[in-house]
Amino acid sequence: MSNANEVTVVIVPFPAQSHLNQLLHFSLLLSTRSGLAVHFACSASHNRQAKLRLQGWPLSSLSSIHFHDLPLPPIPSPPPNPHSPTTFPTHLQPLFDATDLIRSPLSSLLLSLSTSSRRLVVVHDHLMSFAGLEAAAILNAESYKFYSPSAAFLCEAEQLRMQGTDLDELFSLEFRLFTERRRKHEFKSSGLIINTCREVERNFLEILATKEAYSGVPVFAVGPLNPAPRHNKTNITRNECLEWLDGHPPCSVVYVSFGTTSTISEEQVEQLAYGLLRSGHLFLWVLRDADRADIFTAESSSRLLPAGFEKAVEGVGKVVRGWVPQLDVLAHRATGGFVSHCGWNSCMEAMSCGVPVMAWPMHSDQPTNAMLLAEGLKVGLVVRGWDRRREVVAAERVEEVVRMVMEGEEGRWMREKARKISKAVRAAGEDGGSSKEALDVLVAHWRR
């Protein structure tokens, strides 16, 4: 830190898993570039969460990043409510509100780092806009906003705001008010960084460039940030899910996971269970509650399945009640389809691995992402349209969609399309690829 010519990059994530995951990948990617000192600043429990759920990188790579535990007092960590009228994770709102308390210690950290750096670069999650304001007060600092959802959703959200249309139903009222407060703290950043690539969202990135809100702001599409998956890696700690997948043929298993912020009702659990059983296909089902504010208070689920279900599916299905290394599961040769909520992390990982998606959006950007995969890229099917979001998906529909994706000519065509997308997405991050070029331009600008 004594090198006055050093460029210091401070990453400021929002403390929710999908946001932490993307920015940790980005931090690790930056740490491989010479001349950059990379710092990751979040609360102690969320730094620990990010490290614990590291995927695709060796644990030793974490030593290349300087982690800073910003103090955060104890906050309520209620469990998710599976009977809530909305699937948005309202139980996490106390955590979201508490991030205001990170501002002061973050300011002190940035000031300290700026004195021993030629240039201080602050990359903050779009929901941590005050970090940009703090950077603006430092002479040798500049800030960049990192947008964690898709470019498609960013275009849609901007259009709705221009029309004066509320984002009702996608988010809770409390979260919408929270984001409005954060928007008031926004400072025009030096650039916008998105975990996407032109091969997937070229049209939306071009539309974004025409939006008044991003006039004169360079956009860097640098995704996918997750490492290029390698099927059946042997140099990683083998999770029990991977051991189970090892025993099954290629493209034979349906992977079911609704991410870390979605919880489905008991009635829906039952219908999903019967639908998977009736499909006759192998399945790996992650049945867990949404994360709490502190995941270490409850890392697994006690959700009940229909009586006798787990015994009935022995040898056919596996139910897991904790977190799993999803990137490795999707990269496994046995995984042939993915029932997903369509969070952007999951979408990018599925596309990287060439796995078709059975889209089941719950909230936020997920309905937009589901349509992008199903109608735009043709690498998936929508299980339940957003217009029917309040309905319980019947077992018959689950069975129908699983069979469509896993069997027959339509399923084979979709799988081939997913493989082509996978090759294009991976190539984007390699030499000569659009995302690699965008990152090269960004880093070169920082080193100027």
DSSP state string for 263-299:
---HHHHHHHHHHHHHHT-EEEEE--PPP-SSGGG--
Q: Are 179 and 127 in contact (CB under 8 A)?
A: yes
Distance of CA 406 to the CA centre of its chain: 25
Q: Structure tokens of 271?
A: 């219908």
Torsion of CA 333, 339, 341, 347, to 10 degrees: 30
**Is 166 an annotated catalytic residue?**
no
Among candidate residues 39, 68, 125, 328, the one labeled active-site is 125
For helices 344-353 and 408-428, the axis angle rounded to 10 degrees is: 100
Residues 6 or more apart whose CB falls under 8 angstroms from that of 182 comprise 127, 128, 129, 130
Q: Any idea which residue has 């071009």 for tokens? A: 206
Find the length of the chain: 448
Distance of CA 166 to the CA centre of its chain: 24
- Determine phi and psi for 7, rounding to 5 degrees: -100, 120
The Cα 171–Cα 177 span in angstroms is: 10
Print burial letters for 357-372: b (CB count within 10 Å at least 16), e (below 16): bbbbbbbbbbbbbbbb
Which pairs from 321-325 meet CB under 8 Å and 24+ separation?
321/286, 321/287, 321/288, 322/288, 323/53, 323/260, 323/286, 323/288, 323/295, 323/299, 324/239, 324/241, 324/257, 324/286, 325/53, 325/55, 325/239, 325/241, 325/242
**Is 19 an annotated catalytic residue?**
yes
Among candidate residues 19, 25, 281, 341, the one labeled active-site is 19
From residue 447, give the alpha-carbon distance in Å to each of 5, 31, 395, 434.
9, 14, 56, 20
The Cα 28–Cα 308 span in angstroms is: 44
Using CA of residue 215, residue 220, residue 221, residue 226, what is the dihedral sign? negative
Q: Are 106 and 134 in contact (CB under 8 A)?
A: yes
The Cα 208–Cα 191 span in angstroms is: 13
Which amino acid is it at 43? S
Catalytic amino acids?
A: 19, 125
